[in-house]
A = this chain, B = another copy of it.
């Protein structure tokens, strides 16, 4: 990219995102975008990813920053059982951002836009003190899934993996401190290298399959759009796990005015082997990552047993009452914690 002016950048982005998609009547470059009317209700949501809060450029490259910010936003459509129509991408670029950073950032956004079939039809660019990406997503759904429909007697379903991204983040954080998370019987593990700013390599000597999988889960999450649509007509309520299973189970319980109970053994049985491997290396609890870590963008839903989709794993149940609990050997322990965006 040549020297950066706003007009040059808009023209570059119009090319990069070139939204020649069905339903897009007017894309980037006018005062607003125009989308063809849809017969179904519109679903809209916005999500922000802010440097120093949601990521740290010391351990994630700009392409991943763009990719994951976009997928995080689209995940809200997945949780509603919606199909993406279009996105608007508002970027705040720190003064002095090199053209390469913007190139990588928008390449990541464009890749996620392709992967989710959600064309970028507009946006905003501003200078600022810190990098942030605010992504608006628009979609449509005939019968949107809400958080508020869970009923006593239903099963609690988990769709997709939880905890991997949180473990991956812990590994990436460690890699910048250059500390070695030694684990029993593995004293020869070499130090984790500082990842490069552009595209941190996963093929490092220290990367075993579990570690690699967890880091990839954090760097390249995937909104579960197909899985979300599969829940429509089956689930009575759904939410995406963005702030941690414990926090989002509380949200589901509060919105539905029910009690949500996660069975510890069922949850443990549902966890990915990669999570146990990474947790061992980090000397932390796999269950802890599963309960408190968000950003895998799994879906948590409730519904009657007979309607459970093949990809949904029953991890608990819904009952009368309030709050979210972990069932441990017949005892109910209140689920607390999770990510509060105002307490970072």
Interface set of A (CB-CB < 8 Å, partner B): 4-7, 9, 25-26, 29-48, 50-54, 76-77, 79-80, 82, 86, 88-90, 92-93, 121-130, 132, 134, 136-141, 144, 146-148, 238-240, 255, 340-344
Contact of A127 among B38, B127, B139, B344 (CB under 8 A): B344
Identical copies of this chain, number: 2
Contacts of A80 in B (CB 8 A): 30-32, 34
Question: A35 and B41 in contact (CB under 8 A), knowing A50-B92, A123-B46, A341-B126?
Answer: yes
Docked-complex contact A130 and B127, CB < 8 angstroms: no
| Residue of chain B at shortest CB distance from A97 | B342
Docked-complex contact B132 and A342, CB < 8 angstroms: no
Report the separation of the CA atoms of residues A239 and B32 in the bound assembly, to the nearest whole angstrom.
10
Docked-complex contact A29 and B240, CB < 8 angstroms: no
Report the separation of the CA atoms of residues A136 and B89 in the bound assembly, to the nearest whole angstrom.
10
Docked-complex contact B136 and A44, CB < 8 angstroms: yes
Report the separation of the CA atoms of residues A238 and B32 in the bound assembly, to the nearest whole angstrom.
11
Report the separation of the CA atoms of residues A34 and B33 in the bound assembly, to the nearest whole angstrom.
19
Docked-complex contact A341 and B48, CB < 8 angstroms: no
Report the separation of the CA atoms of residues A340 and B340 in the bound assembly, to the nearest whole angstrom.
35
Question: A6 and B341 in contact (CB under 8 A), knowing A26-B146, A130-B129, A138-B44?
Answer: yes
Docked-complex contact A41 and B50, CB < 8 angstroms: no
- Some 25 contacts from A to B, beta carbons below 8 A apart, are A5-B342, A6-B341, A6-B343, A25-B144, A29-B147, A32-B45, A34-B41, A34-B80, A35-B42, A35-B43, A37-B37, A38-B42, A44-B122, A45-B122, A46-B122, A46-B123, A47-B90, A48-B92, A48-B126, A52-B129, A54-B126, A93-B342, A124-B134, A126-B341, A136-B136
Docked-complex contact B50 and A127, CB < 8 angstroms: yes
Question: A128 and B34 in contact (CB under 8 A), knowing A44-B122, A44-B136, A138-B44?
Answer: no
Contacts of A82 in B (CB 8 A): 32
Docked-complex contact A44 and B37, CB < 8 angstroms: no
Contacts of A52 in B (CB 8 A): 128-129
Contacts of A45 in B (CB 8 A): 31-33, 88, 122
Contacts of A36 in B (CB 8 A): 41-42
> Which 9 pairs of residues, A with B, have the shortest CB-CB distance?
A32-B45, A31-B79, A134-B134, A46-B88, A136-B136, A35-B42, A50-B128, A31-B76, A6-B340
| Residue of chain B at shortest CB distance from A146 | B30
Q: How far is the CB of A237 from chain B (nearest CB, A)?
A: 10
Contacts of A5 in B (CB 8 A): 340, 342-343
Docked-complex contact A35 and B25, CB < 8 angstroms: no
Docked-complex contact A126 and B53, CB < 8 angstroms: yes
| Residue of chain B at shortest CB distance from A140 | B37
Q: How far is the CB of A130 from chain B (nearest CB, A)?
A: 5
Question: A44 and B48 in contact (CB under 8 A), knowing A126-B54, A344-B127?
Answer: no
Docked-complex contact B41 and A40, CB < 8 angstroms: no
| Residue of chain B at shortest CB distance from A338 | B6
Report the separation of the CA atoms of residues A41 and B46 in the bound assembly, to the nearest whole angstrom.
21
Report the separation of the CA atoms of residues A65 and B267 in the bound assembly, to the nearest whole angstrom.
46
